[in-house]
Amino acid sequence: MSVIREVLKKLLSGPLTEDFPRKSSPTPENYRGVHELDTDLCLYIRYGICGSCEWVCPSNAICHLEEGGRRVFRLDLGKCIFCSTCMEICPTKSIKLTRNYEFSRRSRGEIVLEWR
């Protein structure tokens, strides 16, 4: 009898899983998600110097280059392991990992971030 009561209780209590993607799931404060870069503070974008984040990145996800006479900061989320070493090493605190985890895309190229 108690088994039936338990089953009925579970049936009536609704789903226990998250309602993602209809509703975003909350992330902890120190969650390491998609990066954001403050281009006003980044020494590479502003002056073409530094590049520390590229040197320390263990998965070669960051690349600094020049294209059409402009400096480009490229970050490949497909290579990134979200270790946050880039954020820790940055002398100007211009690169940050946010709490955003929603970056699923249909093609590989769409998860390569670029700032100029």
Cα–Cα distance, 81 to 62 (Å, whole number):
11
Cα–Cα distance, 7 to 82 (Å, whole number):
41
- C-beta of 17: minimal distance to ligand SF4 in Å? 29
- C-beta of 31: minimal distance to ligand SF4 in Å? 12
CA 50 to chain centre: 22
Max CA separation in the chain (angstroms): 76
- Residues of this chain that interact with ligand SF4 (CB under 6 A) are 42-44, 50-53, 57-59, 61-62, 75, 80-86, 89-92, 94-95
- C-beta of 52: minimal distance to ligand SF4 in Å? 4
- In the complex with ligand SF4, the residue whose CB is nearer, 23 or 47, is 47
- In the complex with ligand SF4, the residue whose CB is nearer, 20 or 91, is 91
Cα–Cα distance, 36 to 112 (Å, whole number):
12
